[in-house]
Amino acid sequence: MILLKTEEEISLMKEGGSILSSVLQQVKKHVREGVTLKELDSLAEDLIIKSNGKPSFKGHDSFPSTLCASVNEVIVHGLPIDHPLKNGDIVSLDLGILYKGFHTDMATTVAVGRIDRKTKKMIEATKKSLFIGIKEAKEGNHFGDISSAIGNYIEKKGFFVIRDLCGHGIGKSLHEDPQILNYGEKGKGPAITQGMVFCLEPMVSMGDYNIVKAKDGFGYETKDKSLSSHFEATVAVLKSKTLILTPIV
């Protein structure tokens, strides 16, 4: 069942989302060669706590950290271990905050130093596909319209969307209905209505879309070890517009 939010609840989520976006922006600025994933995680946790929030991910499904840090072929849910980043890496920073009883969730992919043209193109396409999906996230459309728009754009750019992972509803729980695929058919799935709040998160591979569990026991990575990128935003459907609750960084 898809849980609808009131205007007051969406306003609270907007507050939390603004804090989350600010925190992720500050973490992103610290991404550089030699910085460890663990250092980024500690920074994220400190900033969230100072903002009177709580980390959404820490303790969720036994995840021990605040930040999901997924490097290169790791798509999502990477454990932020004491691993220094190196020139040419790409890292997905996925972060959630619990603020005044409601969760918000977002992600961005960042290059470390210099990356090749194809990798840069993949990251840019993934980010663009998120905005394309958000444009379809409006009352009267169906979730299939979002899924189709994201998937078709990524395929036209020569990349692959990950099929076994998806976006999700969000609110008092970190993961709520519905599940939102990054591929699909226009007009399919539940209708989008006012009061829905959900996370769109295109996950894209430079190789194919098959995935395996990462060695850390939490992350998922591309089976063929190809590079992967990930962007995510929490959005709310209002009467006359769609509101991005987590300004994208």
Q: So where are the chain's domains? A: 7-244
Query: Which tens digit of pLDDT belongs to each residue from 128-153?
Result: 999 999 999 999 999 999 999 999 99
**pLDDT tens per residue, range 51-67:** 999 999 999 999 999 99
Dump the DSSP string for 164-197: S--EEE-SSSSSEEEEE-SS--TT-SSBP-TT-E
Q: What separation, in Å, do the N-terminal and C-terminal C-alpha atoms of the chain show?
A: 31
pTM, full prediction: 0.97
Predicted pLDDT at 140:
94
| pLDDT of 191 | 97
Helices 37-50 + 7-29 axis angle, to 10:
140
Q: Which regions in the chain score pLDDT beneath 50?
A: none
Q: Report which secondary-structure segment, H or E, holds 15.
A: helix 7-29
160-161, strands of its sheet edge to edge? 160-161, 203-205, 228-230
| Residue-level pLDDT at 96 | 98
Task: Determine which helix (DSSP H) or strand (DSSP E) holds 59, and give its type and residue range.
Answer: none
The burial class, CB within 10 Å (0-12 / 13-18 / 19+), for 54 is middle
The predicted pLDDT at position 122 comes to 98
Q: Give the pLDDT score at 240.
A: 85
What is the length of the chain? 249
Superfamily of domain 7-244: Creatinase/methionine aminopeptidase superfamily (3.90.230.10)
Residue 226 CB: number of other CB atoms within 10 A? 18
